Each structure stands twice: as C-alpha cells, then as structure tokens.
Amino acid sequence: MKVEILILVVLTSVMISWKPFVMEVDEVKEANSLLKKGKYPEAEAAYVKALAARGRDLKLKFNLGLSELAQSKYAEAEKSFQSATASEDKGLRAKSFYYQGVSRYNIARYYESKKEKHLADAIKKYQDAADSFQRSIKLNPEDENAVHNYEMALEKLEELKKEQEKQQRDQEKKKQDQEEKDKKDKKDQQDKKDQQDKKDQQDKKDQQDKKDQQDKKDQQDKKDQQDKKDQQDKKGQQDKKDQQDKKDQQDKKNQQDKKDQQDKKNQQDKKNQQDKKDQQDKKDQRPDKGNQQKKQQPKPVTPEERAANKALDNLEQRQKARQRELYRKMGKNRQTPIKDW
C-alpha cells in the first residue's frame, strides 16, 4: 500500500481543485505550506486554527485529516475524513472515503496485533475499511489504489473471519474441555468427599467402638475391683470372725480350765474338810485317853493303798483331758456340758 505517495498525489490534486478565495486566506496558505513541507504537527495546529476562523470548511477538514493520518493519529483522522465525506464535491468525497478507509485499515491492523483480545474489533474495522474503499470506488471507479486497498481489506477480513471461526471452535472446544474437566473435577471432589465422609464415619464408628470397649473394660475393671474388695471385705470379716471365734474358744477354754481348777480345789477342800471331820469324829469317839491316843494316830496306809489312790487320781485327770479334747474337736460353737464329777 503506497500511503505516502497517495497522500502527496491527493494533496496536489486537492490544492489545485480549491477555489481561489481559499488560496488567498493566509491561515490556509500557511497550513497547506506546512503540510507540503512534511511538518505535520504544525500543519495540524494551523488547520485547527483556520477551522476556528472559517467555521465548517470541509476542504480544511480533509487536509486536517491528512495531517493527522501522517502522524498515525488514525482515530482522529477517521473522524476528520468522515466529516469531509459530507462535501458536495464528488472528487473530495471520493478521496475522503478513500483516506477514511486507510485510517480504518490502520486501526484494524492495530487491533489485529492484539487479536487475542481484539479479534472482533479488528474484523469490524477491516469491514469498515472495505466499506469506505467500496464507497470511494463507486464515486471514482478509475481509482486503482482504492480497488487494490478494497481487495486487501476483503482478504484480511476473510482471513480474520476464518481465524475467528477457528478461535471460536478452539474456545468452544476449550469450553467443552473445561466443562468436562470441571465435571471430572467435581466428580473427583465428590468421590474424594464421599471417601472422606466414609472414612470419617468409619473413624467415628471405630472411636465409638473403642470408647464402648473402653467403657466395658472400665466397668469390668470396676466390677473386678468391687468383687476383689467384697472378697477382701468378706475375708476380713471371716478372719475377724475366726479370730473372734478363736478368742471365744480360748476364753471358754480358759474359763473351763479355771472352773476345772476351782472344782478340783473345791473337791480337795471338801476332801480336806471331810478328812478333818473324820479325824474329829474319831477323836470324839475315843473312851479314854489311851483309846484317844490310839484314835489320834492315823491308820497306817499301806503301799498298795497309796498306789491305788494315785492310780484313781491319774485316771480322773486323763478322763477330764480327753473330755476337753473331745469338746474342742466337736465344734467351735458347741457348749461344753456341765461336769458332774
């Protein structure tokens, strides 16, 4: 695309086609001179000043658009050329649409460079550029540059539309892939959650079972301790009872021994009293002194009599001992019978 050459050609043709009174205005002369010299920022400022003085002059709008286009101010140039397309001059309208197409084409190229985010904007601007070139061709069918640029815009438009379709397919596939991935992730998360819930339930059950087992063990331990304590208490009570029974038996034995000793003493005392009485009776029965003396002398005891008396005493003591042993063996709580000897 020969943008710079086209700009110079158009500037020359436009300048020649202006009416003489425009050429005679100092502000316009200065702006046109700056534009021809390539001093585009100064030319732009001069055209803005001239427009302020002369009002809505579409030729000035066209040349303002050229100064903006030369500075790559494509959006501003598009607006300026859009204003110039309202001119009644057919040639000016044709060139205005042409350079409007050039401005739009360059804006589309910018969007194309950012097509990941602005592909739709690039397509729209290429379509706008093609429309501008087409309208320029209708006004001037002999303009080969407009035809060439129109074809280029259509090619870019078709290219980007295919790319857009591919991008849409890719996005759709990406969306489907994402949806499938999300679905799979959701399922995986649900499965993971279900597994975790199942594990939590099992853990909870295991903890409850463990607690129940511990409670049961604690209860059993408590029962065992209570049983052991009860057995210990029972054994202590039995030991205490056995000790008391043993003490009672010992006390009873001691009492029986004391009673036996007392009975033996009483018997001995009775025997001694009887012997004393017998002696006194013998003494009282003596007729005279001789007889009295004779009576006072005890009758001699023969060795046989002494042995017999001793054997009788020993037999009596053995019988008492056997009787006491028999009572001891017969039971703890059995009452010892009263002796009658």
| SS3 assignment, position 325 | helix
| SS3 assignment, position 338 | coil
- CB burial of 55-87 (b: ≥16 within 10 Å; e: otherwise) equals eebbbbbbbbbbbbbbeebbebbbbbbbbbbeb
- The span from the CA of 264 to the CA of 286, in Å, is 33
| SS3 assignment, position 39 | coil
Q: Determine the residue type at 173.
A: K
- The span from the CA of 126 to the CA of 156, in Å, is 7
What's the confidence (pLDDT) of residue 337?
54
CB 57 within 8 A of CB 42: no
Using pLDDT thresholds of 50, 70 and 90, give the confidence band for residue 4. very low
Q: Per-residue pLDDT averaged across 194-223, rounded? A: 88
pLDDT tens-digit series, residues 30-72:
999 999 999 999 999 999 999 998 877 899 999 999 999 999 9
Scanning 285-302, the segments in alpha helix (DSSP H) are 289-296
Q: What pTM was computed for the model? A: 0.51
What's the confidence (pLDDT) of residue 18?
36
CA distances from 256 to 264, 265, 322, 327 (A): 12, 14, 14, 11
Residues of the chain above pLDDT 70, percent: 86
Domain 3-169 has CATH 1.25.40.10: yes
pLDDT tens-digit series, residues 165-186:
998 888 889 899 899 998 998 9
pLDDT tens-digit series, residues 274-331:
888 888 888 877 655 454 454 455 567 788 888 888 888 888 888 888 888 887 887 6
Picking from 5, 36, 1, the residue whose alpha carbon sits closest to that of residue 106 is: 1
What's the confidence (pLDDT) of residue 297?
57
pLDDT tens-digit series, residues 211-262:
988 988 988 888 878 878 878 888 878 878 878 878 878 888 878 888 878 8
What's the confidence (pLDDT) of residue 40?
97
